[in-house]
Amino acid sequence: MKLSKEKFFNNVIANSLIVFMLIMVCAFGFRDQVSSVFSGDKLKAIYHGNLDNNNVSLMVNVYWGTEYLDSMLQIFHDTDTKVTFFVGGMWAAENEEMLKRFLDEGHEIGNHGYYHKDHDKISLERNEEEISITHQLVKSLTGYEMKLFAPPSGAYNDTTLNVADSLGYKTIMWTKDTIDWRDKDTDLIYKRAIAKPSNGDLILMHPTANTVEALSSIIKFYKDNNYNLVTVSQNLS
């Protein structure tokens, strides 16, 4: 099933956004009043999992690099590794079969926004649209309800956190960033991924050629050091 990115985006907004936003205006007005009194309840992004468990998670942000996903999935299968794929809406709309394959092979899917915007630079309404439209798209294609949101470029603010929370999402950042999208160096990607390992680590990567080359060694390192490679949700529990 192929969907037009713009058509899907506009149709969902036209059918649902007006009513939803009326509810959100009231909800955020109340939230702001509460947060100003109970500052200790301020929402925060999550940078690591449960520190009491020897679990780590590989987080794969997918907005491009589809040509490397087959190789990554084969490595995950061969090493009995489960990961969390954070998918962009534009990518998901064009890659339904791969999206379903993630789930069929026991991996987790998270939300990475629709148009890969910096969420700290867009309005409350646009924050909501980026997350909710992607959520509805993935649900319509797979029936899966995502619960984790990874802000594109790691860009977020209090508005982002509040919108994500109101939509039933936890905002996920990372403990270690391989920066594989920029530095096409297999050894450097490996070193960043394993540096100072600790319980609850969230390790960010993308589908790139060099990441594929480093992936087996990264997984071997953590398994050899008695860490469990689990999805982000499992890591948080």
Lowest-pLDDT range, 25-34, 143-152, 178-187, 207-216?
Answer: 25-34
Q: How confident is the model at residue 209 (pLDDT cuts 50, 70, 90)?
A: very high
Of residues 14, 118, 16, 108, the one with CA closest to residue 62: 108
CATH number of domain containing 80? 3.20.20.370
Which of 68, 116, 74, 72 is CA-nearest to residue 92? Answer: 116
Task: Give the residue from 232, 233, 216 showing the smallest Cα distance to 224.
Answer: 216
Residue 100 has pLDDT above 70, yes or no: yes
Quick one: average pLDDT of 70-85?
98
- Residue 36 pLDDT greater than 60, yes or no: no
Whole-number pLDDT of residue 42? 87
pLDDT at 136 over 60: yes
Query: Is the pLDDT higher at 11 or at 143?
Result: 143
| pLDDT score of 32 | 42
Chain segment 102-133, per-residue pLDDT in tens: 999 999 999 999 999 999 999 999 999 999 99
Q: Count the domains in the chain.
A: 1
Q: Which domain holds residue 104?
A: 5-236
In this structure, are residues 228 and 55 in contact, taking their beta carbons and an 8 Å threshold?
Answer: yes
* Averaged pLDDT, 191-203: 98
pLDDT in tens, 23-32: 444 444 434 4
**CA–CA dist 111, 109 (Å, integer):** 7
Express each pLDDT in 156-182 by its tens digit.
999 999 999 999 999 999 999 999 999
Q: Which two tokens stand for residue 25?
A: 């205006």
Write down the mean pLDDT value for the chain.
89
